[in-house]
Amino acid sequence: MDTVLEREEAVQDIETGTLDVRVKQIRYEGKGINSYEFTSPSGKPLPRFEAGSHIDIHLKNGVIRQYSLCNSPAERNRYVIAVLKDDNGRGGSRAVHESIAAGDIVTISKPRNHFALSEEANKVILIAGGIGVTPLKAMAHELEERGVDFVMHYCARSAEAAAFGPELERMQRSGKLRYHFDDGEEANRLDLRALLSEPTPGTHVHYCGPGGFMAACADAVSHWPNGTVHFEHFKAPEQPKREPTCTENQDGCDVTIASTGLVVHVGPNQNFSEALNESGIEVPTSCCAGLCATCKVRYLEGEVEHNDFILDDDDRKEFLTICVSRPVSKTLVLDL
Ligand code: FES
């Protein structure tokens, strides 16, 4: 049965859809990386989260960005994210570093999880590339607490560029965490192919990191059985420029809104998001890059070019992400 406290929290979440939290602490974690610890201003426990979850941060400039929670899911008193300042990025990480101060009240979403830790694994290999360590660190904490065998490989440019050093020291000493630095000894570089050469029954792999690292991991695990490999992109990979794929005759697609019967025309160079917005149909979006699933919508008929980095094959039979998906068939029905 729910406790009174949990029921109170649920009411608050339904009413607001977001939470206001206080920035309790900002800490230097590594070169260019700060961690941000958020607590409840009322002192009440925060909604529970699972390892792999992320939250949306609503920044002062109106931008919303997603960051993985990196602390232990057993902690109910705080959420911790870590952000690498990317001067060549879209501006979100710069805004976090430059506009958030200790003591501020920040609006966030409830945690959502599209990178769940496998429940049935009896051994887990976590492979982190750079700031991709954040969701994997939460997983390492959870695996320790569950008593599941795991090892985390953390690849970074250098020791200075690796985050959470003191916090992870105990894990390193116990042999659960192994560092691999680009500027370190050749013999200590991570050989992904060797590490992942032989899938063993009950072992699952989770990885997260930048584009090149993700491609190398995908290549090294390509022979692992379905369902044993889990990953999350924190940035949309570069995509080759596409020609319009919508319909055989390139005239676009008529999308029917199931609840109202309204037909919205999606042009051959448009995605769903643009066309729906122009027709006054609002579907919430966040990353606009196929990474967060905020804009996931069920479709009832039609064919879709998905282009996202979050839905698996089963999801794709039923759902599309309106920010990056495009219609392929001439007609399509959305469950809106
Ligand atoms: S808004 Fe993030 S996947 Fe569409």
In order of start, what are the domains of the chain with their CATH numbers?
A: 18-109 (2.40.30.10), 123-233 (3.40.50.80), 253-334 (3.10.20.30)
- CA distance to 15, 171, 174, 214, per residue, from 151 (Å): 41, 9, 10, 18
Residue, of 137 and 279, whose pLDDT is higher: 137
Note the pLDDT tens digit of each residue in 108-118.
999 999 899 98
Of 36, 202, 224, the C-alpha closest to 134 is 36
Tokens of 248: 């055989």
Q: What is the DSSP string of 259-297?
A: TT--EEEE-TT--HHHHHHHTT-----SSSSSSS-TTEE
CB 271 near ligand 1, within 6 Å? no
Average pLDDT over residues 155-163: 97
Q: Does residue 220's CB lie within 6 angstroms of at least one atom of ligand 1?
A: no
Cβ of 66 closer than 6 Å to ligand 1, yes or no, is no
Q: For residue 1, is pLDDT > 60?
A: no
Which spans in the chain are helix H?
4-16, 92-99, 133-146, 165-173, 192-195, 211-220, 272-278, 313-318
Q: Give the atom of ligand 1 at the shortest distance from the alpha carbon of 66.
A: 2
The pTM for the full model equals 0.81
The residue-averaged pLDDT of 77-103 equals 94
pLDDT of residue 241: 53
Among 282, 287, 320, the mutation site with the greatest number of ligand 1 atoms within 8 A of its Cβ is 287
3 state DSSP class of 129? strand
CA distance 177 to 180: 10
Q: How confident is the model at residue 243 (pLDDT cuts 50, 70, 90)?
A: low
Instruction: Tell me the C-alpha distance between 3 and 76, whole Å.
Output: 14
Whole-number Å distance, alpha carbon 95 to ligand 1 midpoint, is: 20
> Cα(325) to centroid of ligand 1, in Å?
10
CA of 97 to the centre of ligand 1 (A): 23
Strand order in the sheet with 203-209: 177-181, 149-156, 123-129, 203-209, 229-233
